[in-house]
């Protein structure tokens, strides 16, 4: 840009200052209150709260169920995004709009709907009940709910990347004798891995903090189907604010660590592909 040319947006100083102020007010300030409130506990009380059997059970269920749901979305979300990008078929626009339904639908409504459908007498649950598979009010139901809310993050992250992929590279691989599997693994997947990891991280983060769609289908049974957000809400209802913030701090630290690890993996994969 030549000297004297006016920028459309403000200069770096003003934009950077506004960014910091906005993040401080919207992100840092609310999160800092969690640490301040949990600081009212002694270290022994804090440790006893986050290592209680009920807390550990909820922590294990939250992160395992969120990981499984994000993994399922990574596989089937890729298939959905691929189908929407690469094929033309009737009602394509309708199916594309349905992907965004979890964004628009209130999570509590989604939870009630999923519970009704997957209960033992529900439209879908009744077919699994004779097989001894119970979905609602089990960890499996939690995974189903988290998969539902996380699907759009994977699909919408992958779609623009798939649209930008050059079909000529796949055609060239085919002319050189590569079969479909070889083309997929060596030509197509390397270009979408960073976006796939991003979609996985977004779906995983969304699932960890999900409350509305889980509160109904989980049944909220302590030590069995109670996730961390439900445990925090239970402590708040009992006016145990310090205990709730202690669990929230645990959840925040673990979530931040996992997301940081995924981001490092994403950067590594991007550099490897670029190299």
3 state SS for 164-216: HCCHHHHHHHHHCCCCHHHHHHHHHHHHHHHHHHHHHHHHHHHHHCCCHHHHH
pLDDT of residue 1: 47
d(C-alpha 40, C-alpha 32), whole Å: 13
* Cβ atoms of 229 and 168 closer than 8 Å: no
Q: CB within 8 A of 240, min separation 6: which ones?
A: none
pLDDT tens for the chain, 275 residues long, are 455 556 666 677 788 888 889 989 998 888 888 888 888 889 999 999 999 999 999 999 999 999 999 999 999 999 999 999 988 888 888 999 999 999 888 888 989 999 999 999 999 999 999 999 999 999 999 999 999 999 999 999 999 998 888 877 777 888 888 887 888 778 888 888 888 988 998 899 899 989 988 999 998 888 999 999 999 999 999 999 999 999 999 988 888 888 788 778 777 767 766 66
Q: What secondary structure letter does DSSP report for 129?
A: G
pTM assigned to the model? 0.86
* Cβ atoms of 111 and 215 closer than 8 Å: yes
* Closest-CA residue to 65 (of 155, 138, 153): 138
d(C-alpha 92, C-alpha 98), whole Å: 10
pLDDT of residue 5: 57
Q: CB within 8 A of 267, min separation 6: which ones?
A: none
Crossing angle (nearest 10°) for helices 241-274 and 53-86: 40
CATH number of 43-274: 1.10.3720.10
**The dihedral sign for the CA sequence 234, 240, 243, 244:** positive
Vertex 46 angle, CA 42 and 49, to 5°: 140
């Amino acid at each position: 840009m030549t000297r004297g040319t006016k920028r459309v947006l403000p200069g770096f100083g003003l934009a950077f200052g506004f960014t910091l102020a906005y993040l401080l007010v919207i992100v840092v300030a609310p999160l800092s209150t969690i640490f301040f409130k949990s600081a009212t506990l002694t270290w022994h009380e804090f440790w006893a709260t986050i290592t209680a059997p009920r807390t550990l059970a909820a922590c294990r269920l939250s992160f395992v169920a969120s990981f499984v749901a994000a993994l399922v979305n990574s596989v089937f979300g890729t298939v959905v995004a691929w189908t929407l990008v690469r094929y033309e078929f009737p009602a394509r626009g309708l199916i594309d709009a349905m992907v965004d339904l979890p964004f628009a639908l209130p999570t509590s409504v989604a939870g009630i709907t999923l519970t009704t459908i997957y209960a033992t007498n529900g439209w879908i649950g009744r077919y699994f009940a004779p097989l001894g598979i119970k979905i609602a009010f089990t960890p499996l139901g939690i995974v189903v709910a988290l998969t539902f809310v996380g699907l759009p993050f994977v699909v919408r992250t992958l779609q623009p990347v798939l649209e930008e992929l050059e079909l000529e590279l796949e055609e060239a691989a085919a002319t050189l004798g590569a079969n479909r599997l070889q083309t997929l693994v060596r030509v197509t997947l390397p270009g979408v891995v960073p976006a796939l990891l991003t979609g996985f991280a977004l779906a995983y983060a969304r699932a960890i903090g999900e409350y509305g769609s889980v509160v109904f289908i989980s049944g909220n049974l302590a030590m069995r189907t109670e996730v961390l957000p439900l445990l925090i809400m239970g402590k708040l209802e009992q006016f145990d604010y310090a205990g709730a913030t202690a669990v929230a701090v645990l959840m925040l630290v673990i979530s931040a660590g996992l997301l940081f690890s995924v981001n490092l993996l994403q950067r590594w994969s991007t550099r490897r592909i670029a190299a």
